[in-house]
């Protein structure tokens, strides 16, 4: 039976191996914080981390992931304490309907882990998730503020 390492736990998943990781996480692991938006890796609502890298899980089959790869979902990101990106998102009241925000937060957390001080152009190029409510202005401000906060915390 395939196994997955999700948020630090290894779990058995009795699922056809061409099932997209998104649906394995939502319906078999039981974590629904990761959202379905398009199923074709366009919108980013399904963004998770695989070994720290933001990945769109809706178009990635289970067979492409091994037990050794560490998957983190939104439920795992702030499990011990809220991630700085989540804190900043609350502070700036970024979310409207909120449906896309888990993906936005996962994408941002990964971006800042790899590029702690992105320029505005880099943020605009890297965060390609769709938000239909139109929170982009606050998302942009949120990425910048989270970057500053994380630099301070490290300092």
Partner 1 sequence: MGSERHATAAAKAVRPSRRGFLAGAGAAAGAFSFGFSFPMPDKALAQSAAAPDVNGWVVIQPDDTVVIRIARIEMGQGSLTGLAQLVAEELECDWDKVRFELVKPGENRRRQNLWRDQSTGGSRAIRGSQDYVRMGGAAARHMLVQAAAQGWGVSPDQCSVAKGVITHKASNRSTTFGAVAQLAATLTPPKEIKLKDPKDWTIAGKPVKRIDTQDKLNGSLVYGIDLKMEGMLVAVPKASPVHGGKLKSFDAKAVLGMRGVKHVLRVDDETVAVVADTFWRAKTALEALPIEWDDGPNAAVTSETIAAKLHEGLSAETNFVGNRTGDAKAALAKATRVIEADYSYPYQNHAPMEVLSATVRWTPERCEMWGPTQVPAAALTTLSTAAGVPIEACEIHTMRIGGSFGRRLQTDYIKMATLIAKQIPNTPVKMMWTREEDMAQGRFHPVTQCRLRAALDADGNVEALHVRISGQSIAAYAIPNLMSANGDPLVFQGLIPGGAEMAIGYTIPNVLVDHAMHNPHVRPGAWRGVNLNQNALYLECFMDELAHAAGADPLVFRRKLMAKHPKHLAVLEAAAKGIGWETSKPAPGVHRGLAQVMGFGSYVAAAAEVSVTGGKLKIHRIVAATDCGHVLNPQQVDAQISGSFVYGLSAMLYGECTVKDGRIEQQNFDTYNVMRLDEMPTVEVITVPSGGFWGGVGEPTIAVAAPAVLNAIFAATGKRVRNMPLKNIDLGST
Residues in contact with partner 1 by the rule CB under 8 A: 7, 9, 11, 16, 19-20, 23, 26-40, 42-43, 45, 73-76, 78-79, 81-82, 86, 89-90, 93, 95-102, 105, 123-125, 127-140
Q: Which lies closer to partner 1 via its Cβ, residue 45 or residue 145?
A: 45
Separation of alpha carbons 7 and 65, rounded Å: 14
Rounded to whole angstroms, how far apart are CA atoms 133 and 97?
Answer: 7
Between residues 16 and 67, which has the closer beta carbon with respect to partner 1?
A: 16
Q: How far is the CB of 27 from partner 1 (least distance, A)?
A: 4
* Residue 20 DSSP class: B
DSSP 125: H
- Nearer CB in complex with partner 1: 15/155: 15
Q: How far is the CB of 70 from partner 1 (least distance, A)?
A: 15
d(CA 5, CA 138): 33
Q: How many CB atoms lie within 10 A of CB 41?
A: 17
Nearer to partner 1, 53 or 90 (CB): 90
The first and second tokens of residue 63, run together, are 């067979």
- Residue 102 Cβ, how far from partner 1 at the closest point, in Å? 5
Q: How far is the CB of 145 from partner 1 (least distance, A)?
A: 14
Closest distance between partner 1 and the C-beta of residue 80, in Å? 9
Task: Give the whole-angstrom CA distance, residue 67 versus residue 89.
Answer: 32
Q: Which is nearer to partner 1, 117 or 132 (CB)?
A: 132
Please list the alpha-helical segments (H only) found in 51-119.
74-77, 84-91, 101-114
């Amino acid at each position: 039976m395939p196994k997955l390492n999700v948020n630090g736990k290894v779990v058995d998943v009795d699922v056809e191996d061409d099932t997209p990781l998104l649906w394995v996480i939502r319906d078999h692991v039981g974590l629904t914080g990761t959202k379905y938006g398009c199923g074709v890796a366009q919108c980013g609502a399904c963004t998770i981390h695989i070994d720290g890298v933001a990945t769109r899980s809706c178009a990635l089959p289970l067979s492409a992931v091994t037990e050794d790869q560490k998957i983190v979902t939104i439920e795992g990101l702030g499990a011990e304490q809220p991630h700085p990106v989540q804190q900043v998102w609350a502070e700036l009241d970024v979310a409207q309907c909120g449906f896309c925000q888990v993906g936005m937060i996962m994408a941002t957390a990964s971006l800042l882990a790899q590029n702690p001080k992105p320029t505005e152009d880099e943020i605009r190029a890297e965060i390609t998730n769709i938000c239909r409510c139109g929170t982009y202005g606050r998302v942009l401000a949120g990425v910048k503020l989270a970057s500053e906060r994380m630099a301070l915390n490290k300092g």
